């Protein structure tokens, strides 16, 4: 479910009157994304996505997200571009929520990741990092290393209900990750996506049937952090098979295509295993927090935290960068 | 939530290969409808809706629904038209479910019904009834009068948890409705939509801002029943204000525009009050059944049965057709 706010047609027409988009042709809720309400919007000027930002997004951070998307799209990255109203503003209000219209991107996200998806993904991630240069706003990563211990504390009361001994294991693993984490300034930083899961990446098929990346969406976890951490997020999100095994062919394709556009330094390659452990514990902790704080009857899909415990354990045993395809 | 079945991109491409629709351009889940999985599909040939029929739809009934839509669309009604595969079949299989592609209809369903919506609605309903002539397949109304007593029996155990004394009141009201129900053959029958709620009707704005009806969707409750019963469903679904009051201006606009195209006989007008009570108890009973049989934590939105108890009581006091706008 990704429509939390129903927009009346009168409110929508009044909202659209502030844009130069022509008449309304179609408007359908989209069943994707979990944080915000998303609508597919068609006007006389074309197709767009209307997003109403719900309570999990801090309105104060929206100018960063929208500004970054506009900056990246302006440099040729295939990501949504905020559409400005007649008064120049892209961030507006609708039904009491912050709201924005962005361009529509063609493509289909891969429900089943194939090795051929990984090189286009790696290349696009490197282009995203390059395109982010010159966007001067800094947004610290709220779900970065400094946020993990408080998240774990929030799971302490009920976390062991998910798996016996889980909290003790996470205490130990988190301490090891934080001890090995790169020192500030040791690795290149920049604007990162930080949540580049398959459902945030669209592909079209080339004439020969090979996937061509057509869009990167959902920049609402984007932040300013280690560029190589974004690679580690993708290794977590794209390179494990449904049976839990790590597909090193996918990992090599991802890292190889990334490095062909933005070379990884020796220090970045050496840090990738701990960055992967960090990314694994980040998704484990947010899922565990949601799992232990969401009433079982709530109208949201709870994602399995233990999927990321298995990934964390895998990366904990992968001491060299080669073992993870780097 | 209206995506119950995730379609992998490989399965989708293989499915589309059986159609003459060109390459896949976009594919997004739609957050509308509750019975089936619906996707907005864009190919080189245009926009379509892909529906996977989930377990609440009997596969044996799909040829009726698809055949009726094709029949109505062929007679100019703005409803989805099933798209045939290369082998001529419109009803196919995808991910282990019956599936069909239909044409996409422009328009926006009215989140807030205004009086101006009712005349276009009434006219379209009359055209639907006229266009249905010549479609010879008979589908009895499974949720018609013969189905109401069994539905009420299914609610007997827990129905009074929703409102004290509810079951006794419904026993009494149902008996009165069935006693007053038109005898077989007394009123004209035909193909009816039977579920023409606002979210199944799309409108565009004319150049002068007035709503122009652009589409009727979701024919999966369609059946062969009293034509005037469809008017009664719309009086229930479109003519009450959020505060529970009955808007007779809307009712008159609906019935007047309907009768201008398909005149209502004196017998049909006289029967409208009991048909309205029947439609009210039909939606009350299915909602009550879902309410008392759905675990509170299930991933579905339960609709309030008591909304239709209030409507049922209103129509029980409206003894003459004039009181309800007819």
Residue B31 has pLDDT above 90, yes or no: no
CB B279 within 8 A of CB B193: no
Q: What average pLDDT does the segment A297-325 reach?
A: 83
A34 touches chain B (CB under 8 A): no
CB B267 within 8 A of CB B132: no
DSSP of B181-219, one letter per residue?
Answer: SPPTTSS-EEEE-S---GGGEEEEE-TTS-EEEEEE---
Residue A301 has pLDDT above 80, yes or no: no
Residue A298 has pLDDT above 70, yes or no: no
Q: Do A24 and B108 touch (CB under 8 A)?
A: yes
CA distances from A121 to A211, A237, B158, B315 (A): 10, 12, 53, 60
A208 touches chain B (CB under 8 A): no
Global ipTM: 0.80
pLDDT 10s digits, B100-147: 999 999 999 999 999 999 999 999 999 999 999 999 999 999 999 999
What percent of chain A has a predicted confidence (pLDDT) above 90? 83
CB B128 within 8 A of CB B193: yes
Task: Cite the DSSP H helix spans in chain A.
Answer: 9-16, 62-74, 115-132, 145-155, 166-180, 227-238, 248-261, 266-293, 306-317
CA distances from B115 to A133, B121, B194, B243, B253 (A): 54, 10, 21, 16, 7
Interface test with B, best of A6, A13, A28 (most B CBs within 10 A): A28
CB B102 within 8 A of CB B48: yes
What percent of chain A has a predicted confidence (pLDDT) above 70? 96
- The reported pLDDT for the residue numbered A1 is 41
pLDDT 10s digits, B5-15: 788 888 999 99
CA distances from A271 to A194, A210, A248, A265 (A): 17, 32, 17, 10
d(CA A278, CA B319): 70
Q: How many CB atoms lie within 10 A of CB A131?
A: 20
Residues 6+ away with beta carbon under 8 Å from B88: none
CB B187 within 8 A of CB B224: no
Residue recorded with tokens 């927009």: A7
DSSP of A160-185, one letter per residue?
Answer: GGTSTTHHHHHHHHHHHHHHHSPPTT
A44 touches chain B (CB under 8 A): no
CB B200 within 8 A of CB B109: yes
pLDDT 10s digits, A245-254: 999 999 999 9
The pTM for the full model equals 0.86
CB B315 within 8 A of CB B277: yes
Largest interatomic CA distance in chain B: 59
> Which chain A residues are closer than 8 Å to B106 by Cβ?
25-26, 42
């Amino acid at each position: 479910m990704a429509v939390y706010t129903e927009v009346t047609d009168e409110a929508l027409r009044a909202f659209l009157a502030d844009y130069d988009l022509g008449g309304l042709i179609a408007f359908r809720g989209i069943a994707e994304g979990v944080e915000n309400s998303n609508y597919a919007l068609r006007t006389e000027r074309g197709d767009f996505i209307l997003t109403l930002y719900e309570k999990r997004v801090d309105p104060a951070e929206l100018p960063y997200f929208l500004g970054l998307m506009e900056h990246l799209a302006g440099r040729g990255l295939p990501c949504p571009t905020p559409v400005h109203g007649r008064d120049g503003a892209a961030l507006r209000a609708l039904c009491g929520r912050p709201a924005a219209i962005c361009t529509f991107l063609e493509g289909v996200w891969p429900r089943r990741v194939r090795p051929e998806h990984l090189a286009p993904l790696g290349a696009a991630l490197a282009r995203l990092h390059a395109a982010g240069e010159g966007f001067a706003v800094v947004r610290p990563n709220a779900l970065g290393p400094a946020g993990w211990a408080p998240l774990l504390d929030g799971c302490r009361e009920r976390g062991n209900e998910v798996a016996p001994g889980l909290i003790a294991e996470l205490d130990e693993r988190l301490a090891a990750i934080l001890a090995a984490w790169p020192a500030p300034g040791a690795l290149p930083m920049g604007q990162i996506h930080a949540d580049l899961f398959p459902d945030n990446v669209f592909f079209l098929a080339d004439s020969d049937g090979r996937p061509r990346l057509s869009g990167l969406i959902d920049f609402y976890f984007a932040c300013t952090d280690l560029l190589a951490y974004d690679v580690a997020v993708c290794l977590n999100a794209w390179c494990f098979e449904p049976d839990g095994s790590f597909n090193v062919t996918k990992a090599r394709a991802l890292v190889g295509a990334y490095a062909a556009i933005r070379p990884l330094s020796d220090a970045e390659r050496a840090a990738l295993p701990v960055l992967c452990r960090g990314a694994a514990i980040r998704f484990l902790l947010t899922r565990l927090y949601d799992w232990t704080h969401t009433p079982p009857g709530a109208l949201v899909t709870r994602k399995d935290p233990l999927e990321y415990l298995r990934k964390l354990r895998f990366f904990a045993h992968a001491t060299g960068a080669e073992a993870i395809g780097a």
